Structure formats: C-alpha cells, structure tokens
Structure 1
C-alpha cells in the first residue's frame, strides 16, 4: 500500500506522469501551486501556498512526487494520501501538511476532468445552492477607528454581509490600557459603520495570555460579534474550553492544524464552537470532509480558513457544498491584484457576498504560465507582530 502499484487496473485519468510547481509573487504574499500531469494528457492543479516558505513547499512537492506519485492512479486518493503522510513520516507540520493538501486538490481536479463533472460531485454533491463568504484583508491602512469604519462601509457596499478583522495591531500576550482602548474603539467603530445586520468576526491570531483573552471576551460582548477567533495560543489548548464558558459568542479556531491527528486534542477538549480547517493546509478534500464529520459529532460547525489565492477559494467552494454543518467561507480575493485572477483562470467570482455552484469539470481552473513569468516570487516575510502589519505592503 505504501508503494506505487502499476499492475492494478487504472482509472480514466490514466497514471500520474509528471509533477511541477509554480509560484506567483504579489504585493501581499507569494502564492504557490502544484500541477499534476497524467499520461492521458490531463492536468490537475492544487494550491500549496505557505505564508513565507514557498521554496520549501515547492521542493517537498517535487520530491514527494518522485517518491509517491509518479505512476499512481489519481483516483486512488485515500491510498495516495496515506502514502504521502505515512510514507514520508510527516508526523504533522505545516510544510508537509500544505503539500499533501495541494496534491489532494489536484487529484480531485483530475478525477473531475476525467469524468466530466465538477469536483464537488465527487465530495458529497451539494447541500446548498450557493456559498456565503466573508471578506478579510479589507482593512489595509491606518490602525485607527475612522479608517477601519470607512473601509468596512466600502466593503459592505460591495455586497459582503460579513467581515473579519484583527483590531489588535502588534499586540502579543498582554495589551496595554491604551492598546486595549484603541482595539475596542476600532471594533465599536466598525459595528457602528456597518449596522446590526452585518456579521463581524474578530481575529485573535492565537496570541493572548488567558487573562487578556478573558477580558477581551467580556469587553467584546456589546458589539454582537459572530465569533472570536483563536484568542489563545494553541500551546494552551486545554484552556480554550474554560474561555468558551465565559463567552457570550462562539469561539473559533483550527487553522493551524493539518490533519485529524493534530485536531484530536481540539475535539477531545471541546476547545471551540466552530472549526476552521484550511483546504490548503488541513489535508485537502480527503481530510477536510473527515474533520467536518468529526466536528458534527461534537456539535461544532465548519467555517474554513482561507488566506490563500482564488484557487483555494474555488476549491473550498467545491468542498463545502457537500458539508451539512458548514457556516461560512473566508476569502481575501478582494485584496488581490487583477493579474492574480489572470494567473488562476477560471476562479469563481464573489457576487454580493456569495459564490455560486461551479459548472466546469474538476476545479475549473487553469494556470497561465506567462503570468507567472511576469510576476516572480518575492520571498518576503510578512510579520504580523510588527507595527503596521495590517497595511500588508511590500516592506
């Protein structure tokens, strides 16, 4: 099972014959992809974006292809997932988790193309006729209440009915009294600007000491937020349940975990109300469906994390269409330069805060090599613990 068996009958996609990687530079971060070819002339694509380890994910994807993919049947997704994970002794971690996730996406793209059906038809079909999304990355600019409020109004005017933002600047562990007041003033200004009918999600970036998180839970209550995301470091996962008991709103998290084994403690401790697996980090279609089922077993819902490119947004739509306990999907697509959509051709558009049901076979996306050549990777480090990180510029 942990070696490629070319003696078995092969499916309609043929066998994997070649694997390559591509990276696109943007003002915010580099987006990386894996492209899998078969001897039947089909290609499948998946996203392997890491915030600052693009070289490592691409190198590992190419190395794992030689060890575990060449000659394999793309339809053998469970076996390939096991071969990548167990055969490479990954034992978790972000680089390996991202590579497995992107390869898994590419396999579903290949299967859908081989069968002539959208990928979501292979992952449970559709439980809904469209997917609600929320905007992130909209608050680039000065960290002060008026600027946040103005940008929030602009984003809602584009049709979004939900926004997520981090008002805490470079805070870590504790917040000074001035920083606490500023952060809460930002939340208050955004709520006043968008009114009571827009969902607001507050991002904690897994960085506060318990007493600070507990105070924030109390102070955020008047603003009727939809969830407080990752208020504590995951090194203190056992204290999440205690924080949940103090909160009048849901606690969410899970973007930092890469498979069911890493999620085990989150489920065992009932750490959150809403899990946030990322389709490009948590094992792709194959694993995220299992995580959603486990979440349902624990009366939790699923709101996938997606700080990636429009390819992952599109793949995530395919994934969540068939997840009954899905809540809402994150997207940064409104932050990106137009050429990103030229590079990732066929990505599904956001319309009035929703994304419709895909119609094209597979993921419906092709990568335009010439655009990648025009925008090479920058390999910059984007540090959210530095002052002014929310500007997301090219410093």
Structure 2
C-alpha cells in the first residue's frame, strides 16, 4: 500500500518515484543472485558465466547450506568451482539462508576467507543475534541479515546487537518506501550501509534515494518474472542501474496480454 501511494503521488506530479523520494545517487551497484543448491556444478557455472562474462556484473551470489548445513563439503566444492570460474576480480557472495548452526558457520567462514568470499548472508538463523555478532567478530567476511524485517524494532534490535556489517532490507516486507527510509536511518546512525533484498525494479527507486546504500540483490527469479510481466524494466548489464528520469512513476507498464495466460479463475 505504501509503495502504491508513492507511485500515485509520482503519477500526479509526473515525476519518477526515485526523484520524488529524494534522489542522491545517479546510479547504484547490484549483484547477480541465484546459484541455488539444487543446481549442478555445470548449471551453477553457466549462470555465473552469464552474469560475469555476458552481462559484465562484477558481483555474484550463490546459495550454500543445503539440508541444514549437513553437506558442508559439497558447499565448499561449489564455492571453489565458482571462484575458479569467475576469477579473482569478481566479488563472490554466499547465502546460507539460516542453514548452519553457529559451530558449522564458524568452521565454514574460515574457508570463505581462503576463497576471498566478501559476504556471508544469514549464516545462522536471523533470530540468533548473539550468534551473528560472535561470528562477525571472528571473521573479516561481511556478515549480512535483515531481509525478514517487518518493523523498525526488528532492525533496531539487529543493529543494536552488532549482528551485521550490512543491514538487508526488503522493500516489499518492511512497510514500503516510508519504513525503508527509517530502517536506513537506523543503520546510518550505527555507521552501517543497507542492501536491498530482491524486488530489483522497485528497490532501485528507493536505493538511489538512500545515502548509505551498498547494492541491490538482482535476484534471478524476480528478474525473469519482471521481464515477462512488465515493459520498462531495468537492465543490470554492467553491474549498475539507474531509474529512467524520462518516465513518471516506476516507469513500468504491465503486459496485460502476456499476463492473461497466468490468470486463475475463482
């Protein structure tokens, strides 16, 4: 509802949403996100190659911690394969989706440092703020979490506990653009940056209006769906995006004929 109201205000004023929110960045960085644990090594390499070689994206993220962390050797094999393919100049991130115990996460993070992994997302459950903080103190890899935040208190507790190096915020969960700005202010007060979780074409507009912004998760599934459903979606090629200043609102139009095939009768 909050996002829709900002969109309506931008339509009334004939402005891009990013400018209405108070744009401070010309463009913002992004990272390619996917690398699911059910992918074979070949499938993982193909996806990474598309991002890095074809689209020129200098940051990529893959999933680890399949079956609640019980396949750590497989995780490390996939990380080695990823680093070998992308080379040393591309930033490599991993996302455990709360899959490890604190002990497992501590063992894994030593290997992540070896392969110059820069970002360890949700190594343990995001409710374990003490566990996140202790792991953060034990490694040079950035610890990230926050995508499940639905209110400002959640973000304040996470930041106050010293649990993360970068606070993730999902604009479709946190309460829209208005609450995003408040969460970003909480992070800024602690000297932290924020990163956008998913919803890339919505996130871009609030990202360019956030001074302490790091990057957008350009999630493979969301990117695919948004291209199917909308005209005017942004192109992640090159690793940065910027809202179209010539287009009002979000700059996207629903492809009604293309979407019709997915309608479900009541």
SS in 2 for 1:153: helix
What corresponds to 1:130 in structure 2? 27
Taking the aligned partners of 2:185 and 2:248, their CA distance within structure 1 comes to 26
SS in 1 for 2:214: coil
Which of 172, 190, 204 lines up with 1:298 in the alignment? 190
Residues 30-109 of structure 1 correspond to what in structure 2 (within 5 A)? 103-109=1-7
Contact 1:221 1:249 in 2 (8 A): yes
SS in 2 for 1:280: coil
1:184 is aligned to 2:71: no
Change (3 A) 1:346 1:258: same
1:148 is aligned to 2:34: no
SS in 1 for 2:120: strand
1:220 is aligned to 2:82: no
What corresponds to 1:341 in structure 2? 227
The number of residue pairs the alignment matches comes to: 263
Cα deviation digits, residues 293-315 of structure 1 (max 9, x gap): 11011121111110xxxxx3222
Cα deviation digits, residues 220-246 of structure 1 (max 9, x gap): 111111210011112322221111111
1:110 is aligned to 2:17: no
Contact 1:141 1:147 in 2 (8 A): no
TM normalised by structure 2 equals: 0.91
Taking the aligned partners of 1:162 and 1:205, their CA distance within structure 2 comes to 19
Change (3 A) 1:334 1:239: closer
What corresponds to 1:211 in structure 2? 103
> How big is the shift at 1:341?
2.3
Change (3 A) 1:139 1:156: farther
Cα deviation digits, residues 9-66 of structure 1 (max 9, x gap): xxxxxxxxxxxxxxxxxxxxxxxxxxxxxxxxxxxxxxxxxxxxxxxxxxxxxxxxxx
Change (3 A) 1:264 1:364: same
Taking the aligned partners of 2:101 and 2:65, their CA distance within structure 1 comes to 14
> Structure 1 stretches (4+) deviating beyond 4 angstroms?
138-141, 333-337
Change (3 A) 1:330 1:361: same
What corresponds to 1:164 in structure 2? 61
Contact 2:200 2:223 in 1 (8 A): no
SS in 2 for 1:328: strand
Taking the aligned partners of 2:211 and 2:223, their CA distance within structure 1 comes to 30
Taking the aligned partners of 2:46 and 2:126, their CA distance within structure 1 comes to 33
TM normalised by structure 1 equals: 0.62
Contact 2:133 2:162 in 1 (8 A): yes
Residues 195-206 of structure 1 correspond to what in structure 2 (within 5 A)? 195-206=87-98
CA RMSD of aligned residues (A): 2.1
- Name structure 2 gaps, 5 residues minimum: none
What corresponds to 2:249 in structure 1? 362
What corresponds to 1:282 in structure 2? 174
Taking the aligned partners of 1:141 and 1:132, their CA distance within structure 2 comes to 27
**Higher Rg of the two aligned structures:** 1
